[in-house]
Amino acid sequence: MTNNDSSGRHSSGSYSSDRGVQLMLAWQAGDETAFEQLVEEYSGLVYSLLTRFLGRRAGREDLVQEVFLRVLRSRERYQPTARFSTWLYRIVFNIAVNETQRSANRTHVSLDGPSLGAEEGSLLELQDSDAEDPSESLERGDVVLAVRAAIAALPEKQRAAIILAKYHDTPYAEIAEILGSSEKAIKSLIHRARETLRESLAPFMIESDGLNETEGGLL
C-alpha cells in the first residue's frame, strides 16, 4: 500500500473517523480498555456474519473468540488501510472458509456422523433465531428455508459476496477488499450467484409472489 494515492484512501489518516480504527489505534497506543470496547461493539456483527455463512451450527461462539484472538495477535502490525469492519470481515471470511473445509473433512471421515437433515450443521439451519415458527406460516417458512439452503450451497466466494451485499449492506468496493478481489469481479460473482439462486428456487418463485420481499429483494 502507498500513501500517495490522491484520494488518500490508504493514508494513515483516511479512516480516522472510523470507530473501529479509532479503537484499534487507541489500543496500540496502550489503552487496554479499547480492545474490550472492540469486542463489545463488533462481536454481534461477527456472530451474525458467521451465522449467515455457516448456519446455526454449534461452536459459533468459539469462532467469534477465534476472530478476536486474531485481532489480538495483530495489535502491533495493524495498519488502518481500510475501514475496521472491512479488515475484520476479511478475518471472519478466512475463518469461515477454514471451518467449512474442516466440517467437510469431518463429514468425509465420519461414517457415523449426522445426515444432511440432522439438527446440527444442516444446510436448512440458516434461519435466524427470531424467524417465525413454520407451523404459523408453513408456506412462508418453506420458502425461507429453501432460499437459505440455496445460499449455503453456493461456492464460498459467491456466498460471502451475496451475504455481505444483501444482509450487511456492504458496498461492492468493500466486498472486493474483504475477498481480495476487484469490484468488477465481485459484480460478476453476485450476478452468477443470483442466476444460480433463481434456477434453484424457480419452483418457489412460481408458487410465492412474496419471495423477494421475504429475503429482502435477494433475487
How does residue 39 score in pLDDT terms, banded at 50, 70 and 90?
A: very high
Is the predicted pLDDT of residue 127 greater than 60, yes or no?
A: no
CA distances from 203 to 10, 117, 125, 152, 192 (A): 47, 21, 21, 18, 19
Q: Quick one: what percent of the chain has pLDDT higher than 70?
A: 70
Lookup: cell for 5: 494515492
Mean pLDDT, the chain, as a whole number?
A: 78
Q: What is the pLDDT averaged over residues 140-163?
A: 85
Domain segments of the chain as ranges:
1-124, 126-219
Q: Which of 23-27, 46-50, 136-140 has the lowest mean pLDDT?
A: 136-140
Residue 199 identity: E
> Which residue is listed with cell 489505534?
25
Report helix, strand and coil shares of the chain as percent, to nearest 5.
Answer: 60, 0, 40
Distance (Å, whole) CA 2 – CA 83: 16
Res 16: pLDDT: 84
Lookup: cell for 61: 461462539
Is the predicted pLDDT of residue 10 greater than 50, yes or no?
A: no
Res 149: pLDDT: 85
Q: What is the pLDDT averaged over residues 147-176?
A: 91
Lookup: cell for 49: 456474519
Distance (Å, whole) CA 149 – CA 143: 10
How does residue 134 score in pLDDT terms, banded at 50, 70 and 90?
A: very low
Q: CB of 162 within 8 A of CB of 186?
A: no
Q: What is the pLDDT averaged over residues 179-194?
A: 94
Is the predicted pLDDT of residue 159 greater than 80, yes or no?
A: yes
| CATH code matching the domain that covers 1-124, chosen among 1.25.40.20, 3.30.70.60, 3.90.950.10, 1.10.1740.10 | 1.10.1740.10
Is the predicted pLDDT of residue 76 greater than 70, yes or no?
A: yes
The CATH class that applies to domain 126-219 reads mainly alpha
Q: What is the pLDDT averaged over residues 48-58?
A: 87
| 200 against 107, higher pLDDT | 200
| 181 against 207, higher pLDDT | 181
Q: Which of 34-43, 108-117, 199-208 has the lowest mean pLDDT?
A: 108-117
Q: What is the pLDDT averaged over residues 27-50?
A: 95
Burial tier of 97 (Cβ tally within 10 Å: 0-12, 13-18, 19+) = middle
Is the predicted pLDDT of residue 109 greater than 70, yes or no?
A: no
Distance (Å, whole) CA 28 – CA 16: 14
Q: How many residues does the chain have?
A: 219
Q: CB of 72 within 8 A of CB of 35?
A: yes
Is the predicted pLDDT of residue 203 greater than 90, yes or no?
A: no
